[in-house]
Every structure is written in structure tokens, then in C-alpha cells.
Chain A
Amino acid sequence: MSVIIVSDEEATQGPEDAKWHRDKQIDDIKERIPDIITNEDIITSDPTGKKIVIPIRILEVPDFRHGNRKGEKGNAGGYGIGAGRGSPGDIIGREKRKEKGSKAGDGLSSGMTEAEIDFDELLISWAELIGLPNIRRRSDGTIYEMEWRIGGTTDSGPISLLKHKDTGAEACKIFFAFMQILQNETGEDELTCYNALKESEGGLNEARDLLEKGMTELKYTEVEPFLIYADGHLLFNEMLEKEIPVTTAVILFALDVSYSMDRDRKFIAISLLFWIRHLLRVHPRYKRIIVRCIIHPGTHEKAEIVSAEEAFARVGSGGTEIYAAFEVMNQLVEAEYPTGHYDVYGLYCSDGEDFDIPHTIEEIRKFVTRDISMLGYAEVRVGGSEEKTIMPELVKAFDLRMEAHGGISVSAGSKELPLIAITLHDKAGVGPAIAQFLQKERWS
């Protein structure tokens, strides 16, 4: 007779080791991020707290296995045993010829599979890739940000943190203290005590012994203080942890929905907002993220505050007056989101067309001098169009320096100026644009 047990215990070791495997795949995931982040299914859904399915390379352990050393003629030479109807000569399987330039043996024949990954896990991997500040989890699962600084003094630590000056000063004090002790205890003069201390290489007890026996010869003729390093008197810098207080981030997202902004351009703009919002959401600094969307439909039409869905759906008419959006952004900061209480991010997306550039520059200048965290101006130029845009004037007005990064051009000014202007041409530029916008060095 058998023993029959019904167990509700779910797998534990498997998920733990699956995480181990996932950590090893993280480099592959990071390489795929540019493709993942342009997935429309993710952007048009709300994956917060959910898992998303991504293609991922299966890791394999290399071993000695049959294969083709040169690969010129594919993988002929294998064999197998099968079963079923047919006759000799029947073709029972076919694999299309490999494209020119590829060869067998590229990679470890590691196939692709689809894996589920926590959306937040993806965001954190990406944040690490971009170089966002330290993100760490407490054992209770909540997230806090650690900031390390060197400060204070302690009596132990790694040699790399030794406070040379302070330790030297302390060692000097010890010399004089020992000299005083020896003179008081033995009654000998300063030079004799110095000789004893010098002969004993700073050892107080050994110097006492020498003086007790009697110093017949004084090798040193004058007192030259030297450093005595005693245990417990080495001084080290202390590494101090500081937990950054959590606050609220406000993203003021402005979108040009005039006639010239077609669906592809808008999708790129919405993608920028989507990923910046979620990356800030997982950042430990912020307990809350507020997003306000502003659209400016066209010339002579007022800028409005709308929902993100409406921003994507709305189509304006006529030309573009960018300043209108920045006017609203400035009003919001003044009336509702003072920068003393909120971390304010501005993100403006347009195809760059503007009918009143000087006015726009003036409004942008007001915005960036309000002690905001960052303003990103993103110009989406699909198809490499050559129309005149606000970008050159923006660069000139704020003395921005242009660089190329991952297929996009980025213009940024001094570290004190929280402004970055980006030109991107397709959705492949979304990842690099976000990386530049959120790059750690740019944060104020």
C-alpha cells in the first residue's frame, strides 16, 4: 500500500534560482531595452505591478558538443532515429539555408525564449544601466536611496580611509606624552629619555627598561620628535549613510498636437512620457508622481491641461506657438507646484516648428530659472526633415553644446542649467533620449 499525500507547497528553490539566472541574463535584458521600450503594447497598457513578456536569450553552459567548425555548408552530418510511414529518400525536415555572412558556431546555439519579467524589475535594470543613483531594497521590501559621504572620524577602518594628517598629529602627541611620562617616572633628563625612546622605537615599556638599566651611551645628541603610531590611535574617515528624504515628483508634460505632429511623432512623445514617469516612480526619492499634460493645438488656440489619452488623440490645426505651453507650465509651477515642495520636471515634445521663437525662449528661460529639476525639450524629426525649427535658437540662447549619443543629438549647457535639448528621428531614439534626460550627472 502506498503513502498518499496532497501538498499545497509551491516551488521555492526554482523561483530563487530563476532569479539567479535572470541576474545573469541582466546584461542581455539591458541590451534589449532599446527594443523593449518601444513596444507599443507596453506603452498603451498600464503594466504597473504586472509582469511583461519579453524575448530573451537562453543562457547555456558551453560544453564539447557536435557542430560544424567552419560552417560553410551548414550543419550537415547529423543523424537520428525516427518512426512513421515513408520510404528512403523522403525529406522529413527542412531548415532554410543560413543567410550569407552568418556561420554556424556564432553564439552557443543559445535560442531565444519569452520570459516574464516584473515591469519594475525591468525599470530598475534600466535605471542601473542609465546610472541613476543607488537604489536598494530594505529587507522589508520598501525602497530607500542611500547616499554615502565621507565624514567624521573613527578609530578603525580600511587603510584607504586612513586620515593621515590627524593620525600624524596624534602620533606626534604620543611622542611628547611618552617623553613626559619617562621624565616624570625616571627623573632622567630630556635627552636621555629621548635616546631610550628612540632606541626602543617608540615602545614606552621598552624605553622604561632601558632607563632602569641605565643608558651608558647616548647615541643621539639632540631631541628630534618622531611619530609614534600606537594601536587605537590610528584615525580613519568614517563612511556615513544618509537616507534621502522622499518627496513628490511632478512631471509637466507638454505636447504639440498641431497639424504637423503626426501619429508617429506623437507615439514617440508619449513613449518618452511613459518611461520617464515609470522610471521616476521606481526611484526611491519619490513617494508619489504627479503628471500634468498640456497640449497646444495650434496658432490662436489656447494651451490646455488634458489627460494623457486625450493628448495622444487630439489633433489640432494650423501652425505652432510653443510659448503657449510654457506659459501654462510656468503658471502651474507658480500656483500649484512650488519647487520648494516638489521636484518639478518639464518635458516638452514637438516637431520643432514655432511661429514665435523669441516668445518661446523667454518663457523657457522663466521656467528653467524656477529651481526645477530638469526640463527636456525633445524635437521629433521623423524622416530627417529639414524644416527650420526652434533648436538652433534654443542652442544659441542658452549656450548649449551639442553632442551625439546613440543616434540622437543632445544639447546641454552648464551643470547649473537644468535644460537639455534632444533631437530624435525615430522610436529607436527613445531609449537614448531618456538616458540623457535622467543621467545622474545632470540632476540638480
Chain B
Amino acid sequence: MKPKELERFKKIDRRITEICAEMGLEGREITFVFVPPSRMSEAMAYGFPRNIPSWIAGRDFDINDTIWRHTGSGIPYEVIWGFGIHEEPKAFLVKGYPFALQVLINAHCRGHEHFSLSNKFLRRRTINLAEQARLATERVRGYIREYGREAVGMAIEATHSLKKYMDPTPFQVIVSEDDIRTVLLDRKKSELEAVGRASGDREERETHIKRIEGELKVLKTKTPPVPNYNVLRCILESTPAEHDPYRLDIANVLLDQEEYLRDNMGTKLANEGCASYLHRKITKRLFEEGRISDEEFGVASHFNSLVMADSKSFNWYLVGAAFFEDIEDRWNKGQFGKAYMDCKDPNKRQTFFRPGFGGEGIKKVFDIWENYNDRMIISDPELFSDEFIRAMEIFIWERKIDPQTGDIIDVRTHTEPDDVRAMLAYRHTLYGIPLLCVMNKNHDRRRELYIRHDYSGLELDPKAESGAMEYLYYWWEKPVHLETREIVERNESGTPTKTKGIIHSYDGKNHTFK
């Protein structure tokens, strides 16, 4: 950036800060760093300016950087982090991008900053992850010197493979196994007492009591007491790997980062929508004030229009920004509430108007930013309305087999708003990640690990599964077992019609299937 441009950017930045304050947005001082494209590729690969060294991030960096150097595309306009309340917000922007785009990105980052500070689901985060990553980087470099790259690389791979299998309950609070066991034991004891006091057939009561006593006995030692969907965290609580502290350190740092990422995933639509919605408003204001020229505004609008719909994917920026614009418009017109929702005539709904709600739109937008996550938004037909879904032309597609050619085809199947909402909500629960849980850390009373895959119509890739089982063994150091399902029959179009259960076991040397 030339010195004059830099000065101008600083001036506009000051004005953006004022506009944000006028709009009532929360915000702190953000550090914007203009970096060469290679640093952006690096930040994209590692998630932070500094993070644990790994070949995995090196691979991603190499791909990003090579694509950039040969095509001039493939890296994001910005990478931002540190928007938690205990963090210091920072953003990388790429040197050499058009001035108007840099202004747009500045405004976009203010949106992220406001959302992160105001949203109740993100506000609860307490770790300064960027700082944790920076410190962990130095420690891991020390581990590499001490234990060798191979050993440290293995710990990173074994964490990377398993870190994403988490409880889908959004924004859950982690409760210890002992606390869960205590609660369950208390319940069982209460149940036992109640049965003991109850009247009725004595033999039946005694049978019941015996059953509860049996369950109590199991509950006292069963670990985990209930299926634990935070697979790696659960394993790490009892792993023999604790004798290698470096392995645990690496796993814990990467798990913290993954949990942070999962929180972000749960609000991605709202967060990107907020940032895109605000950057549109702010750049328009700057244009109206004459701080950016016609041409620059055109450039900014051009980049806005680049968030185009792709027929097979869901575009957070496009849908998110449009969603909040729709909310603002509808709430200003009074298009919400019982009267609106009870109206089923689409023509009447389109022209529905209640006076006196002007200005309510932006309040509702702020309310959603503060109190909602994506699943809450998507599941609510008052917010994520039928009209909006139809206007955005959102649909569900399914992968099938062409009965004539045998080709794999992606077919548009559902466009009904209820179906779209249900599917989007489901997607925003599991994000395409198989659901796994730890069932027993003392399987067969031999301290073997037993994991269950909660089958929901999709099988597991067997070759990848074998590799992942070996990583499970790496952490558990005793035989590991996975219960999953295999599709036995499909119909003509490839939809499963019959399955069977299989147990995949690995003892450190051999994979067996039963």
C-alpha cells in the first residue's frame, strides 16, 4: 500500500469507528496488518499467526501458496481472530488488493467484532487462543528437539484425526464423569427407595429391586457412566499417554482450538451474515459521505456480488446478509407475530403491513445477533421464513445412482421450506461429521476401549476407519473396538434398505471384523 493510500485508509478507518459507534455496535481497537500473500496463506493454514508446527498445516500452506502464486486467487480477503472478550482482535489483510476492498474488509471485521462481543454463545469463551497457540508453538518446537519430529508428528496426527468427534449439543458445558456418576447414582438410589416403599406384588417388587441393584453396581464402575460424545477428551482423561506429557499438551491445545472452532461453526450464518450486512451498510454510508468514489463503491459492490450462489453449496455470506436485510425489512413492516404467521395467503403475506413498527427492524437484527445461534434461527419459521427460503431458492440435493448409466448424480430433491429448514438444522448439528461416542473404557473388564458409531443412513469409509482406529490405539495403548453398521441392501436408486452391525477391532497389530 502506498503511503498516501495508507493515510487515507487510516482516515476512513477513523470514520468507520465513528459510524459503528453511531450504529450502537460494540467494538474495541482492532489491529489490521497488511501482509504479503504468503502470510495470508500461512494464517489460513494454521488458523492463527503462530500455531503448532505440523506437516498438516504445511501441506495446506503449500497448496494455498502454490495456487496463489500460479493463479492469483485462492486465499481469503481477510483472516481474523482474537474476538473473544479476553482476546485482542487482529486481522490480516492482503497487501496489493484494491483500496475499496480493503475498506470493505475493515467494515466487515467490525461486524465480526460486534457479533463476537454481543452474542451470548460466543461471549462465554475465556481462553485467549491466539496467545495459547503462540506459547504452544514454542513448547512444541522444544518437544521436536527433545523427542524428534516423528514422535511429535504422530501426536499431532492422532489428535487431528480424532479431535472433531464432539457432543453435538450446541454450546454444551463439560461435566466431569464423576459428577455425572454421582447424579445418576443418586437417581438410581431414589428409584430404589421408591420401589422399596411402593405397595404391590412382592415378588415383582423384589425383581425390580434386584434389577436396580444390578444397575447400581454397574453404574458405580462403568466408565463413562453414559455414552460420552466428546471422544478424545474422554479418552485423554484415562489415557496411558499421560506418561508422555508432551502428547497430552499437544492434544489439549488442539482440542481447545477445535472447541473454539465448533462454537464458531454454530454461529457461522449469523456471524458472517452480521459482518456482510454491516459492511454493506457501512460502505454505502462512506459512499454517500463522499469518502469513497463512485468507482471505489463500484469495486466494493462488485466484491459484494462475488458472494454468488453456487448451486451445490450453501453460501453463508450471501444467505446471512440477505437474511438480516429481510428481517430488518419485515420487522419494519410489522411482518411478524401471530397475525402474520396465521396468514397463509402468500399474496397477503407479501403486502402485510402494520403501522408503527418503523425502526423495529434494526432492533430485531441486534436481538438476533445477541441471543441466537444458527440452529435457533434456521428452525424458526418466523425468522427463516418460507418466503425467504423461496426467494433465496435454497434446496436440498441428494446423491444417487443413475439407474441407466450407473453414474453418480446429484439430484435436486426438496424445495419445500419445512424440508429445507429441517435439513439445514440437521446439518447445523452434525456438520457432516459422523457421530461417535465412547461407550466403555473398560470393555470386557480388560480396560479395552469400545466406541459406537451412531449410524444415521451413512456408512463409514473403511480404509480411513482403519487408519483412525490405529490413532485410537495410539492414545489407548490397548485393544480398541468400533461398533458401526454396514449397508447390506440398497434399492435401485441407491437408497439403503437393509443394514447389519459390525464390530471393527484393532489390537495394535491386526484389524479384525465381526
A residues adjacent to B (C-beta < 8 A): 1-11, 13-24, 58-59, 61-70, 73-97, 104-109, 113-116
Contact = CB atoms under 8 A, between A and B. Distances in A.
Contacts of A89: 411-413
B513 to A, nearest CB: 10
B406 A63 contact: no
A13 B413 CA distance: 45
Contact of B393 (A21, A61, A83, A88): A83
A115 B65 CA distance: 10
A88 B30 contact: no
Contacts of B311: 82-84, 86, 92
B197 to A, nearest CB: 47
Contacts of B53: 13, 16-17, 20
Interface in B427-442: 427, 432, 434, 436
Nearest to B466: A62
A21 B13 CA distance: 40
B471 A92 contact: no
A67 B165 contact: no
- Listed residue (B162, B399, B405, B490) with the most chain A CB atoms within 10 angstroms of its CB: B399
B411 A5 contact: no
Contacts of B465: 62, 64
A213 to B, nearest CB: 49
A13 B59 CA distance: 12
Contact of A83 (B6, B395, B399): B395
Contact of B408 (A2, A4, A76): A76
B298 interface: no
* List of 4 A-B pairs having minimum Cβ-Cβ separation, nearest first: A62-B467, A67-B461, A17-B58, A76-B494
Interface string B375-404: 000000000000000001111111111100
A181 B351 CA distance: 118
30 contacts: A2-B17, A2-B32, A4-B6, A4-B9, A4-B31, A4-B32, A5-B31, A5-B34, A14-B42, A14-B57, A14-B61, A17-B55, A20-B54, A21-B62, A66-B432, A66-B458, A69-B486, A73-B401, A73-B494, A75-B408, A76-B408, A79-B397, A81-B313, A83-B314, A83-B319, A83-B392, A93-B312, A93-B397, A93-B410, A95-B409
Contacts of B76: none
A97 B406 contact: yes
B180 interface: no
A79 B468 CA distance: 24
Interface in B23-38: 29-36, 38
A8 B36 contact: yes
A88 B410 CA distance: 11
A93 B402 CA distance: 11
B182 interface: no
B100 interface: no
A10 B41 CA distance: 10
B460 interface: yes
B466 A1 contact: no
Contact of B394 (A3, A22, A23, A81): A81
A95 B58 CA distance: 30
B411 A62 contact: no
B123 interface: no
Interface string B454-470: 00011111111111101
A21 to B, nearest CB: 4
Contacts of A66: 432, 434, 458-461
Nearest to B18: A1
Contact of A17 (B57, B411, B453, B462): B57
- Listed residue (A9, A63, A77, A91) with the most chain B CB atoms within 10 angstroms of its CB: A63
- Listed residue (A58, A84, A85) with the most chain B CB atoms within 10 angstroms of its CB: A84
Nearest to B423: A81
A58 B58 CA distance: 12
Given A62-B467, A89-B411, A82 B313 contact: yes
A59 B32 contact: no
B211 interface: no
B14 interface: yes
B392 A94 contact: no
Contacts of B17: 1-2
A76 B495 CA distance: 7
B495 A81 contact: no
A369 B458 CA distance: 71
Contacts of B420: 81
B464 A85 contact: no
Interface stretch (B153-161, B286-294, B342-350, B354-362): B153-161
A70 B500 CA distance: 13
Is chain B's binding surface mostly helix, strand, loop or mixed? mixed
Is chain A's binding surface mostly helix, strand, loop or mixed? loop
B149 interface: yes
A86 B412 contact: yes
Nearest to A24: B55
B424 interface: yes
A17 B54 contact: yes
Contacts of A107: 463
B396 A81 contact: yes
Given A7-B33, A13-B42, A16-B58, A83 B310 contact: yes
Contacts, number: 297
A17 B61 contact: yes
A210 B471 CA distance: 61
Contact of A64 (B165, B310, B401): B165
Contacts of B36: 7-11
B335 to A, nearest CB: 22
A7 to B, nearest CB: 5
B431 to A, nearest CB: 12
Contacts of B149: 20
A21 B394 contact: no
B458 A77 contact: yes
B468 A81 contact: no
Given A7-B33, A66-B461, A83-B314, 10 more contacts: A21-B59, A22-B58, A63-B464, A63-B468, A74-B494, A76-B408, A77-B457, A82-B310, A89-B413, A90-B412
- Listed residue (B56, B162, B310, B466) with the most chain A CB atoms within 10 angstroms of its CB: B56
Nearest to B31: A3
A367 B314 CA distance: 72
A65 B412 contact: no
B45 interface: yes
Nearest to B465: A64
A168 B265 CA distance: 71
B415 interface: yes
A82 B59 contact: no
B222 interface: no
B249 to A, nearest CB: 18
Contacts of B313: 80-82
Interface in B470-506: 470-471, 486-487, 490, 493-496
Given A1-B13, A7-B39, A84 B309 contact: yes
Given A78-B458, A92-B410, A11 B39 contact: yes
Contact of A5 (B33, B160, B436): B33
B397 A82 contact: yes
- Listed residue (B59, B164, B487) with the most chain A CB atoms within 10 angstroms of its CB: B59
- Listed residue (B394, B462, B466, B471) with the most chain A CB atoms within 10 angstroms of its CB: B462
A97 B397 contact: no
A77 B38 contact: no
B312 A64 contact: no
- Listed residue (A15, A61, A85) with the most chain B CB atoms within 10 angstroms of its CB: A61
Contacts of B30: 2-3
B339 interface: no
Contacts of A65: 434, 460-461, 464
A114 to B, nearest CB: 7
Given A61-B161, A67-B459, A79-B399, A4 B13 contact: yes
- Listed residue (A4, A70, A113) with the most chain B CB atoms within 10 angstroms of its CB: A4
A109 B30 CA distance: 40
B66 interface: yes
B201 interface: no
